[in-house]
Chains A and B, each alone.
Chain A
Amino acid sequence: MTRRTMIEAIRDAMDVSMERDDDVVVFGEDVGFFGGVFRCTAGLQKKYGPSRCFDTPISEAGIVGAAIGMAGYGLRPCVEIQFADYVYPAYDQIVSEAARIRYRSNGQFTASMVVRMPTGGGIFGGQTHSQSPEALFTHVAGLKTVVPSNPYDAKGLLIAAIEDDDPVIFLEPKRLYNGPFDGYHDRPVKPWSSSELGEVPDGHYTVPLGKAKVVREGKAVTMLSYGTMVHVSLAAAEAAGVDAEIIDLRTLVPLDLETIRQSVLKTGRCVVVHEATLTSGFGAELAALVQDECFFHLEAPVRRVAGWDTPYPHAQEWDYFPGPDRIGRALQEVLEV
Chain B
Amino acid sequence: MSEETETGPTLSLHVPEPAVRPGDTPDFSNVTIARAGQVPRPPVDVAPDDIRDMAFSIIRVLNRDAVAVGPWAGLLSAEELREGLKHMMTLRAFDARMMIAQRQGKTSFYMQNLGEEAIACAFQKALSPGDMNFPTYRQAGLLIAAGYPLVDMMNQIYSNEKDPLKGRQLPIMYSSRDHGFYSISGNLATQFIQAVGWGMASAIKGDSKISAAWIGDGSTAESDFHAGLVFASTYKAPVVLNIVNNQWAISTFQGIARGGSGTFAARGLGFGIPSLRVDGNDYLAVYAVAKWAIERARRNLGPTLIEHVTYRVGGHSTSDDPAAYRPKTESDAWPLGDPVMRLKNHLIELGEWSDERHTQAEAQIRDEIITAQKEAEKHGTLHSGQHPSVRDMFEGVYAEMPPHLRRQRQQAGY
Contacts and interface: CB of A to CB of B under 8 A. Distances in A.
Contacts of B192: 65
Given A66-B197, A73-B132, A59 B231 contact: yes
Interface string B161-187: 000111011000101110000110111
B178 to A, nearest CB: 8
A109 B190 contact: no
Interface string A92-127: 110011000111111111100000000000000000
B18 to A, nearest CB: 29
Contacts of B397: 102-103, 141-142
A133 interface: no
User: Interface size for chain B: under 10, 10 to 19, 20 to 34, or 35 or more residues?
Assistant: 35 or more
B412 interface: no
A257 B404 CA distance: 9
B404 A65 contact: no
Contact of A254 (B166, B201, B203, B402): B402
A52 B200 CA distance: 11
Nearest to A51: B204
A109 B182 contact: yes
A67 interface: yes
B398 A57 contact: no
A61 B227 contact: yes
Contact of A72 (B132, B186, B187): B132
A102 B230 CA distance: 27
A106 B231 contact: no
B227 A106 contact: no
Contacts of A43: none
A62 B168 CA distance: 27
B266 interface: no
B200 A89 contact: no
B208 interface: no
B38 interface: no
A298 interface: no
Contacts of A75: 201, 204-205
Given A65-B190, A105-B183, A142-B398, A93 B224 contact: yes
A106 B166 contact: yes
A165 B203 contact: no
B224 A61 contact: yes
B398 A59 contact: no
Interface string B300-341: 000000000000000000000000000000000000000000
A69 B211 contact: yes
A107 B396 contact: yes
A210 interface: yes
Nearest 5 CB-CB pairings of A with B: A69-B197, A66-B197, A65-B193, A62-B227, A165-B399
8 contacts: A62-B231, A69-B195, A70-B197, A70-B200, A93-B193, A106-B166, A108-B175, A166-B398
